[in-house]
Every structure is written in structure tokens, then in C-alpha cells.
Homo-oligomer: A and B are copies of this chain.
């Protein structure tokens, strides 16, 4: 961790966000001291920041080709007691079902549930819970980074259709709404959500329908190139 330079060291960390069963989830790795941490690592001397984030996702979490966007840079002098480390945080949005496909032997990741103790876009740290509901202590300021990611995504949902990044390629309007509700942490009006999404021109109706449900199957949609205006 020691470096010869005069300035702070630089790392990247990735807050992986997914939605499963109506709750927010994330991916963590075990670090020393029994703490869980975001996937991340040092930035190579000639490596683009986003490449470093993608590399951490691949080597530490076994994930590739995910939506990845810069979040915020955390640099409080005391955030890492061992040395001055500034980290450029990214967030990734992943279809929750991809968590199941990760080779746990090759990459011993932890899947955790995120509990958001604030409403709206108030912000603040969040809690990570394991499958049994026990609290997972997070390293450094990683609870703040995850909280910042949730806050950012909540804000983006209002004017951007990033919800589909959390779903498989084809999905129903109900699934999309439930993803939005899970991210926002509040119920949405069914009718107006439907109208708004269909009016946005971003959804493309496929001629397939939902399978294996015990009621009228919904039409499957996918996100298409922005169609008009």
C-alpha cells in the first residue's frame, strides 16, 4: 500500500446494484478483518479509470459487460486509516439473475441485500445484510459509497430509463414498474407509470408474451433506440 509519491494513491471501487425479489442487492468481496468490501483496486499507471473499474468487476466478481458509470470520488484523508487513498467510485447496474450465474468457486463473492434507512433522496450510508438477514460490516466508507449509488440511481430514474439495466432483455411493464418501486423505495401509480413508459417511445413491444403465469400473460417489451423527436 505504501507508495513513493508525494500525493495520494488512487483506486477505483464499484457499487454493483441489482434488484431481486423486490429488494436491492449488491456484490461484495471478503477482505481482511472479516469485513466485506466493494470490488475495487488500484488504478494502473496507464489505465483509464473506467477500465480499472471494469477490471475489478471481472477479476473480483466475475462480471463482464455491465452498465458502468462514474459515481463520485471519495477522498477524505481519514477514510483509509492505513494511508491516504482517494477512490473514484463507479456504480454498475446488473440483472439480479446474473448473480446466480457467477462461478462462486473462482470468485468467492458475497451477495448482500441493501437496506436503505432513509427516504427519497436524503442520502447517507446504507446497510448490507447477508442471506440470513445478518448485518455485514463494510470496509472503510463503503456504506457511504453504496448509499451515494442508491441516491444517484433514484435521481436518475426520474428522467432516465435506466431501470432496464436491472432486468433481462425482455420484460413486462409490471416487472419494470416493480424495479422502479424497489429502487425508489415507494409504490408508483400503476396506470400513470404504464402511460408514461409507453409514451416515452423507448419501449419496443415484442410479439412475445409472458410464459407460465396463472393469469393473462403480459406482453414482453424491450428497450429500443429512442424512436422520435
On chain B, the residues within 8 Å of A49 by CB distance are: 73, 75, 86
On chain B, the residues within 8 Å of A42 by CB distance are: 6-7
| A1-38 vs B, Cβ < 8 Å mask (1 yes, 0 no) | 00111111110000000000000000000000000000
Give Cα distance in the complex from A72 to B90, angstroms: 11
On chain B, the residues within 8 Å of A65 by CB distance are: none
Q: Is the interface of A mostly helix, strand, loop or mixed?
A: loop
Q: A43-B75, A47-B77 are in contact. Are A8 and B8 (CB under 8 A)?
A: no
Whether the pair B10, A8 counts as a contact (CB closer than 8 A) is: yes
Q: A49-B73, A73-B73, A75-B48 are in contact. Are A86 and B43 (CB under 8 A)?
A: yes
A191 on the interface (CB 8 Å rule)? no
User: A residues touching B (Cβ–Cβ < 8 Å)?
Assistant: 3-10, 42-49, 70, 72-73, 75-77, 84, 86, 88, 158-159
